Structure 1
Amino acid sequence: MIIKTPTSHTFVTGSSEGYTPLNAFDGALLAAGIGNTNLVKMSSIVPPGTREVPITELVLPPGALVPVAYAAMESDIPGSMICAAVAAAWPTDPAKPGLIMEYHAHGHREDAESVVRRMAEEGMRKRGWEVKTLKSMAIDHRVEKIGAAFAAVVLWDL
């Protein structure tokens, strides 16, 4: 069971082709740098006070249970464009948590990133919080046979 409150967050993306949609998804996780962990999909709250660290500094033990908010898209339509995006917004009050939104679709990364940023802004508005910082990351993938696109915010205790 995950019992520690995360102290860091990391944005990652990856895409891949695969023999099946699951193989493509697995390849996208490997491309994102988190393929040898067990993802625990979570609702989308970033604890107050976390700091952002690049994936190169995040040491995740193989097989670790890793909290992650993510968007993933798989397709077996050759030539189609798929995308996944995440955005996180932090309020002006540092005692309050941040908010992550996820989005996936057929289309280009720029469109997905625009949508997910608006989603994060709307989530903050619903809470009555002013946005201090908003960060997003997206990826797209042109499907050859069977493809996957993956975007996530990984939470971890450093």
Structure 2
Amino acid sequence: MLPIPVKFKLVSGTAEGETRLTAFDKAILRAGVGNCNLIKVSSILPPRCRPDRGIVLPPGALVPVAYGFITSDVPGEVIAAAVAVGLAEDPASYGIIMEHSGRVSRAVVEAEIVRMVEEAFACRSLPLKEVLVESTEHQVVKLGCAFAGVVLWY
């Protein structure tokens, strides 16, 4: 069994690249997670997992991350990515993580991501205390990427 993360941080980054993959690579570098092996996870924040902006990730580490991203090769197009963490009223309870991206502004993805967290809490009948949001927006020059993630750590 894998250990259960006890802390998390929200990250984001944008970049341009020569290919979709290099744009993504540069965006995750700017987000501070580019020298790790990202393990994509879904939507549950473990119980008692708390925010910690001081998380230091060792190069090459296997890092659980819930993330959303988008790439575009349309010059002038605005792209955005966002993540949100919903924290339950009961600090011993689990939380919810949502990811979203689109060919829209940062404000649009932020509004949508908050609605998504609220719906996820409502369908679980879980009282919501707070929503933390991280987002980023990028205007494409040639080939751009917008990335946002929630890093889970031990």
| Same-fold call, TM cutoff 0.5 | yes
Alignment-derived partner of residue 44 in structure 2 = 45
Alignment-derived partner of residue 92 in structure 1 = 89
Deviation at 1:94, TM superposition (A): 2.2
Alignment-derived partner of residue 119 in structure 1 = 116
CA deviations on 1:110-144 (whole Å, 9 max, x unpaired) are 11000001000000000001101111111000000
Alignment-derived partner of residue 64 in structure 1 = 61
Quick one: distance in 1 between partners of 2:101 and 2:78?
11
Aligned partner letter, 1:106: R
Runs of 4+ in structure 1 over 6 Å off: none
Q: TM-score, normalised by structure 1?
A: 0.95
Alignment-derived partner of residue 25 in structure 1 = 24
Deviation at 1:90, TM superposition (A): 1.3
Question: Could you list the runs of 5+ residues in structure 1 that have no partner in the other structure?
Answer: none
Q: Percent identity?
A: 47
Alignment-derived partner of residue 130 in structure 1 = 127
Larger displacement relative to structure 2 (85-94 or 146-155)? 85-94
Q: TM-score, normalised by structure 2?
A: 0.97
Alignment-derived partner of residue 12 in structure 2 = 13
**Count of residue correspondences:** 154
Secondary structure in 1 aligned to 2:79?
strand
| Structure 1 position 106 matched with structure 2 position 103 | yes
Quick one: distance in 1 between partners of 2:50 and 2:128?
17
| Structure 1 position 153 matched with structure 2 position 150 | yes
CA deviations on 1:8-48 (whole Å, 9 max, x unpaired) are 00000000000101000000000000100000000111111
Alignment-derived partner of residue 77 in structure 1 = 74
Aligned partner letter, 1:123: A
Quick one: distance in 2 between partners of 1:60 and 1:98?
22
Quick one: distance in 1 between partners of 2:23 and 2:50?
30
Deviation at 1:58, TM superposition (A): 1.4
Secondary structure in 1 aligned to 2:65?
strand
Deviation at 1:3, TM superposition (A): 1.5
Quick one: distance in 1 between partners of 2:48 and 2:136?
27
Quick one: distance in 2 between partners of 1:79 and 1:95?
45
Deviation at 1:50, TM superposition (A): 1.4
